[in-house]
């Protein structure tokens, strides 16, 4: 009996994934995903510092990515952050930076980050900005410091922070590089912070009797009639629950178990792209 119960539960879980994230190709015209995941945008990137080893660097433009997403989700701290960003914009000029802690200063009035020397002053506004950030990020930024440079300067800072990784593709027989098999890839350093937003709606699936019957015919191969009847009841309950957008978001973020990490991009097999998820 336990084996059959497990089979029904596995089938239900698989259908739950479809109801939340959208169906497989052969059902693609039936309904769309109930979850929209926006592009991940760069907000903070670690940069080498002549004093203090490394510090977080950002710019008004990068902070505006965060503000935009906060506006999309109507985040409660958006107005507070918007005021601080406006203050920062009025202070940061090309060739200069503002910093959250004096430990980063070289010779009293400059900072050297990624081998770029910029005139720098401490600004308490950045400490207020750090305090708005979510837990782990706030702790790291408080320890390592936060530096804001101009939008003109941040491009070069980011470029110099990137890790260039040479890659080769070997010919299996000769163990030499195959034609066109030498290239380089760019990776962001550890502790880089991106922002995204996950928007949830109630499931788009109709979940009527005809739809559920079709799902059972497709999903229920190998199940007994009694198990199919149980699966039908489970599907009805599942669709009813996932009509609530809050329940959809709960499932998308780990079904209440607390999703804490996720691989981004297509480099999982070589250990790249693993990110820690911090809900704000």
Check if the beta carbon of residue 177 is closer than 8 Å to that of residue 171. yes
pTM of the model: 0.87
Q: Where are the domains of the chain?
A: 2-37+201-276, 41-162
pLDDT at 187: 94
pLDDT at 2: 44
pLDDT at 179: 81
Residue that has been written with the tokens 């007994």 in this structure: 224
For 268-278, the pLDDT digits (tens) are 888 899 999 99
User: What residue ranges of the chain have pLDDT lower than 70?
Assistant: 1-5, 255-256, 258
For 96-149, the pLDDT digits (tens) are 999 999 999 998 899 999 999 999 999 999 999 999 999 899 999 999 999 999
pLDDT at 264: 87
pLDDT at 256: 62
pLDDT at 181: 83
pLDDT at 5: 64
């Amino acid at each position: 009996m336990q084996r059959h119960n497990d089979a029904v539960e596995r089938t239900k879980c698989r259908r739950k994934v479809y109801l939340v994230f959208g169906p497989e190709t052969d059902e693609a015209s039936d309904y769309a995903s109930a979850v929209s995941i926006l592009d991940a945008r760069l907000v903070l990137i670690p940069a080498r510092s002549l004093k203090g080893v490394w510090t977080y660097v950002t710019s008004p433009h990068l902070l505006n990515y965060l503000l935009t997403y906060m506006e999309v989700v109507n985040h409660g701290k958006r107005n507070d952050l918007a005021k601080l960003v406006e203050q920062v914009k009025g202070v940061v000029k090309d060739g200069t930076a503002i910093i959250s802690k004096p430990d980063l200063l070289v010779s009293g009035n400059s900072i050297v980050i990624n081998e770029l020397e910029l005139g720098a002053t401490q600004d308490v506004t950045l400490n207020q900005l750090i305090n708005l950030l979510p837990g782990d990020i706030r702790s790291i930024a408080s320890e390592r410091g936060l530096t804001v440079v101009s939008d003109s300067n941040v491009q070069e800072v980011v470029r110099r922070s990137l890790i260039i990784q040479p890659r080769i593709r070997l010919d299996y027989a000769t163990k030499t590089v195959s034609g066109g098999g030498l290239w380089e890839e760019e990776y962001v350093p550890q502790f880089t912070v991106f922002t995204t937003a996950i928007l949830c709606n109630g499931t788009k699936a109709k979940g009527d009797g005809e739809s559920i019957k079709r799902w059972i015919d497709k999903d229920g191969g190998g199940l007994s009639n009694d198990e199919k009847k149980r699966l039908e009841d489970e599907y009805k309950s599942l669709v009813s629950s996932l009509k609530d957008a809050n329940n959809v978001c709960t499932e998308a973020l780990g079904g209440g178990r607390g999703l804490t990490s996720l691989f981004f991009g297509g480099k999982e097999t070589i250990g790249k792209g693993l990110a820690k998820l911090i809900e704000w």
